[in-house]
Structure 1
Amino acid sequence: MTARVPDGARSTAAGLVIAHGLVVNATGARRAHVVVDGGRITAIVDATEPVPAAERVIDATGRAVIPGGIDGHCHVAQTTGPWTTLDDYAVTSAAALWGGTTTILDFGIPRDSSETPLAAARNKLELAADSRCDVALHGSVITWDETVPAQLDALAALGVRSVKMYMTNRGSTMADDDTVLKVMREMVRLDGLTYIHAEHDAMIADCTQEHADAGRTGIGHLHETRPELAEEASVREVLAMAEYTGAPVYFVHQSTPRAVDLVAQARARGVEAHSETCPHYLVLDDGVYSSRFPEWYACCPPMRSPETVEALRRRFAEGSVHTVSSDHSCYDLAQKRERTDDIRQMPHGLPGVETRMPVAFTALAEAMSAAGTGRGGGDDGVRLLERFVELFAAGPARINAIPGKGVIASGYDADLVVFDPEEERAVDGTALHMGTDFSPFEGMRLRGWPQAVVSAGRVVLDGDGFHDPGPVGRFLARQGYRESHQAAGASGPGTPHALQTAGSGGGE
């Protein structure tokens, strides 16, 4: 429900007020009115006070107001080998907004050996000029040479303060151990964060070859060729390198509880390590590979056993997992089905930036309910919302050193979601907005959907539908990892750099 003030009152009115909602941060919640002006939150007013005058008022009675989501792991317009995802920044950023995510982090991954890490990142920055939401970027290094340190310096100067490396995918994106160790040392020097795709390549190559020798290369065998032990062995090895170099490290898409436990154990001895998981590892198990459409679930790591999924959900609920990201990769079914006969040749990755909110919230609500800490009412319901905000927005902002994000407080960016934790909908992949023709969550009834979304002070989603803001997204130059953590709470939020200059009509 919205209301507007008379024209004569607008000179003293704020641009927007979200009134009477339960304002939820990771550290607490209260009923309040959120006042927005000039793209920033300007005040939080207790709900017992009158609603401040505004050009527009959104009534959030009975709903939560949470920070806009930050998806730390998206692949937009990505080429890997012969495959290119079908989305672009205009499509993916709009889909993110539909799903309550107001900031995405993409990767500048070299397409092949002819593209340098710096060139890959600059290419993504040019493409990101079409984004509807704010964008930050990770770099990527595949092969070490004498130019890499200077390239990492240039990336840091641009505000790209993290680098992803793959421990598998030999012949395409894999970095060898020497490269990983050297990049970690450089990231310590540059106060950056090392992102890692952890799967032990030798184990996977051997296991895949055994299956190929037996004629078992179809998609129905994907989960058999990438065992849990391969992920856990790689996590253990990378943690040792991080401990040796002193490098902060972030593990993407962890799919097993033992991988999460290894990170927790390392943190207990002082290693700066973080665990990310993805929605699909929380609600799908390896039974999908014997379903009617197994190609819908081609991703790496693959889905795990029901027992593993249940144990991972417990870690997710109790706080051992630090962020939930989509790992969005937008292929369509035609691409998926071109080589279902050979998992070594088909594209891996799932569309998910739009469905991250309801899938993750449903999994968290169910897991916390099973643990007796989030049944949906009273203090339990508030704890559930606070934990969700930490995973969905606050944790990704803090770990990735993105200033001004992930918190509802005066001075922070006006990225806000009016959120109904009780609304339940069934997923219809054809009705989503991600530039593909399926969803791995097709038909699932999920709880917790955005009712309204505000991005940089603009209402982009409400009861009237989606309001495309155009290519207004900003590139977010990130702070140093330790610099940000040391300064937390000591200074106000920083100011992101504009992707577009004032008055610009969009990218070239």
Structure 2
Amino acid sequence: MNAPVVIRGGTVVEASWNGPADVLIRDGKIAALLKPGAAVPDPAIRTVDATDRLVLPGGVDPHCHVGFTSGEFTSLDSYAECTTAAVFGGTTTIVDFAIPRPGRRPLDAAVAQRAKAGEGLCDSALHGCVVEWDDTTADQLKTMADSGIRTIKMFTTYAGESMANAHTILRTMQATRDLGGMVIIHCESDAIIVDAQTRAAEAAGVDAAHMACTRPEIAETAAVAEILAIAESQNAPVYFVHQSTAEAVELVADARKRGLVAFTESVAHHLVLGDGAYTGEGPERFVCCPPLRSAEAVEALGEHLFTGHITTLGSDHCCYDLDQKQVHRHDVRHMPNGLPGVETRLPVIFSRYVHDRGLSASRFVQLSATNPARTNGLYPRKGSLMPGADADVAIWDPQARWTAGVGQLHQATDYTPYEGMALTGRPTTVLVGGHVVVDRGELVDDTPRGRHLEASPLDFREMATGCIPAG
């Protein structure tokens, strides 16, 4: 049984309110929010000082790849390594993916990935994945839903590996809808991408410096429009991962106005980094899909953090190292796509949008913790500091000034795309299930307490009204 803890002196930030309060924790749960300085029954209770700090629900990262194999490459981190980096960055729950290799059943991939959860320093949930529909898929989805895996990833690109055709997407939408789940979609038109890559190879080249032109913005918007049409035809909920343009986000927002339950995720690197990175030194460090966009596109996308059209904030964490990124640096068609980001997701957005541009701390919590918990069937257990929630807490110093760099981070790689970036704000103390895991920026408890979280059936009515901008 956990020893009781009280967090004193801080400003508690929830998605719908914030204010001074002390946080009482018992048995790994939030027991009460107290008036500042209120007496507690046990005089020997451990006190955590949060004076001049923000007390936030631990972040929920809805998009995190751990030990992910794509093509010839496998990302480098284990659950222990990924979740160590996560907690240093203020994230206390990750949602991983079980993406089957060609010829493997989705259920088998999910069972194998779920078994790793116990290695983590924090809890994790799981997205399944369907590539091709057959006469066993419906039963596999039912078995996964019964074990708490209710969100199913699908791709409209990567033909021959993970791409699903429109028939498979429609059938999977039907099945997940009826099981209280939801399809989550990587939207890029494979036909447009293949054509763009072919033309690039014949002209300027397909090296990392030309990454942006090999996967144009229209490939994303075209796929989003098609998937929205399929979802509307089935009245099925749908969640779009890593949307990188304002146009794509607005297509989803318009569908919501028509009554569709539809959500947009954006990721930190699309909100902060621009395609100018591809013209500098080491462009392979920034190869991701969708690619980084123009400075104008980044600015337009970021505005939707304020409008409320972006529902969640993910990392799309893929922990490759420089050796892996450089093997095929002259041909992005064979490079491993993805950036390490589970640790930097929250500090980078806090600095650039909360500190620099005035995004409210409550909206930050909604994007980074509450809405990811809601859209993954984990709320109110996760993403909240209200009584009864798991005592996952990130205590932030909102004025801490620091410089991002691989030497400052804990990810299992030798680079960060944010190298040298000056940042303001970071978590200094992090609790997982009521245990202080990080304190004053140091790992003080590396006990693996990770649990596989079973998602509850999604309440689409609550999600449609609950995932709205904080007032």
TM-score tier by shorter-chain length is over 0.9
- Tell me the equivalent position of 1:45: 34
**Structure 2: 5+ residue runs without aligned partners?**
467-471
Conserved? CA contact 1:14–1:35, under 8 Å: no
* Matched residue, 1:15: 4
CA contact under 8 A between 2:375 and 2:463: conserved in structure 1?
no
Q: Distance in 2 between matches of 1:288 and 1:185?
A: 41
In the alignment, which of 389, 397, 406 is matched to residue 373 of structure 2? 397
Distance 1:259 1:66 in 2: 30
Q: Distance in 2 between matches of 1:216 and 1:483?
A: 45
Does residue 181 of the first structure (1) align with residue 170 of the second (2)? yes
Looking at structure 2, the residues matched to 411 and 464 of structure 1 have their Cα atoms a distance apart, in angstroms, of 27
Distance 1:307 1:31, change over 3 A: same
Letter in 2 for 1:61: T
User: Which residue of structure 1 lines up, in the alignment, with residue 317 of structure 2?
Assistant: 328
Question: Residues 43 and 476 of structure 1: is their aligned pair in 2 closer, same or farther, counting only changes over 3 Å?
Answer: same
- 2:329 maps to 340
SS in 2 for 1:172: coil
Residue in structure 2 matched with residue 441 of structure 1 by the alignment: 418
- Measure the CA separation in 2 of the matches of 1:464 and 1:342: 39
Structure 2: how far apart are the matches of 1:316 and 1:486? 18
Q: What is the aligned partner in structure 2 of residue 246 from structure 1?
A: 235
Match of 1:262 in 2: 251
Q: Distance in 2 between matches of 1:177 and 1:388?
A: 35
Q: What's the TM-score, normalizing by structure 1?
A: 0.88
CA distance in 1, matches of 2:307, 2:47: 36
Give the match's secondary structure for 2:116: helix
Q: Following TM superposition, by how much is the alpha carbon of 1:451 offset from its aligned partner in structure 2, in angstroms?
A: 1.2
SS in 1 for 2:239: strand
Residue aligned with 2:131, SS: coil
RMSD: 1.9
Instruction: Please tell me the residue identity of whatever aligns with 1:120.
Output: A
CA contact (8 A) 2:277 2:286 kept: yes
1:107 corresponds in structure 2 to 97
Distance between the aligned counterparts of 1:330 and 1:70, measured in 2? 18
Change (3 A) 1:180 1:487: closer
Equivalent residue, structure 1, for 2:114 = 125
Which residue in 2 is equivalent to 1:69? 59
What amino acid does structure 2 have at the position aligned with 1:55? Answer: I
Q: Describe the SS at the equivalent of 2:299.
A: helix
CA–CA distance in 2 between the matches of 1:430 and 1:320? 35
User: What is the count of residue pairs matched by the alignment?
Assistant: 464
CA deviations 1:61-107 (Å, max 9, x no partner) are 11110100000000001111211011110100111111110000000
Answer whether contact 1:317 1:367 (CA < 8 A) is retained.
no
Distance, in Å, in 1 between the alignment partners of 2:66 and 2:463 is 32
CA deviation profile, 1:289-337 (whole Å, cap 9, x unmatched): 0001101101000000111111111111221111110000000000000
User: How far apart in 2 are the matches of 1:367 and 1:466?
Assistant: 28
Residue of structure 2 in register with 1:432 after alignment: 409
Counterpart residue number, 1:203: 192
Contact 1:419 1:449 in 2 (8 A): yes
Match of 2:79 in 1: 89
Q: Equivalent pairs: percent with the same residue?
A: 45
Q: Matched residues in 1 for 2:429 and 2:407: separation?
A: 21
| C-alpha distance in structure 2 between counterparts of 1:463 and 1:308, whole Å | 37
Change (3 A) 1:165 1:228: same
Write the letter of the residue equivalent to 1:326.
S
- Determine which of 381, 386, 389 is the counterpart of 1:412: 389
Instruction: Tell me if the contact between 1:324 and 1:360 (Cα under 8 Å) persists in the aligned partners.
Output: no
1:424–1:486 distance in 2 versus 1, CA, 3 Å: closer
Q: Choose the corresponding residue for 1:288, options 277, 281, 297.
A: 277
Contact in 2 for aligned 1:85/1:331 (Cα 8 Å): yes
SS in 1 for 2:401: strand
In structure 2, relative to structure 1, the CA distance for the partners of 1:262 and 1:459 (3 Å cut) is same
Deviates more, 1:46-55 or 1:164-173: 46-55
Cα 1:216/1:18, change in 2 over 3 Å? same
Deviation at 1:422, TM superposition (A): 1.6
Counterpart AA for 2:79: Y
- Whole-Å separation in 1 of the counterparts to 2:26 and 2:161: 47
CA apart distance, 1:139: 0.2
Normalised by the size of structure 2, how large is the TM-score? 0.95
Q: Report the equivalent of 1:144.
A: 133
Tell me the distance in 2 between the aligned counterparts of 1:63 and 1:329: 31
Counterparts in 2 of 1:202 and 1:245: CA distance versus 1, 3 Å:
same
Please give the per-residue CA displacement for 1:344-390, whole angstroms capped at 9, x wherever unaligned. Answer: 11101000000111111123226744xxxx5xxxxxxxxx1101000
Taking the aligned partners of 2:351 and 2:461, their CA distance within structure 1 comes to 31
Q: Distance in 2 between matches of 1:98 and 1:188?
A: 36
Give the structure 2 partner of residue 480 of structure 1: 457
- Out of 40-49 and 298-307, give the one that drifted further: 40-49
Q: Does the aligned pair in 1 maintain the 2:246–2:301 contact within 8 Å? A: yes
In structure 1, what is the Cα distance between the partners aligned to 2:233 and 2:425? Answer: 42
- Equivalent position SS for 2:459: helix
- In the other structure, the counterpart of 1:59 is 49
The CA distance in 2 between the partners of 1:96 and 1:289, in whole Å, is 27
The answer to which of 405-414 and 421-430 deviates more is: 421-430
1:450 to 427, 451, 454: 427
Q: Does 1:386 align with 2:362?
A: yes
* Counterpart residue number, 2:88: 98
CA contact (8 A) 2:117 2:123 kept: no
Q: Distance in 2 between the 1:237 and 1:40 partners?
A: 43
CA contact (8 A) 1:313 1:363 kept: no
SS of the residue aligned with 1:328? coil
Alignment CA distance shift 1:269-1:63 (3 Å): same
Q: CA deviation at 1:51?
A: 6.0
Distance 1:84 1:328 in 2: 13
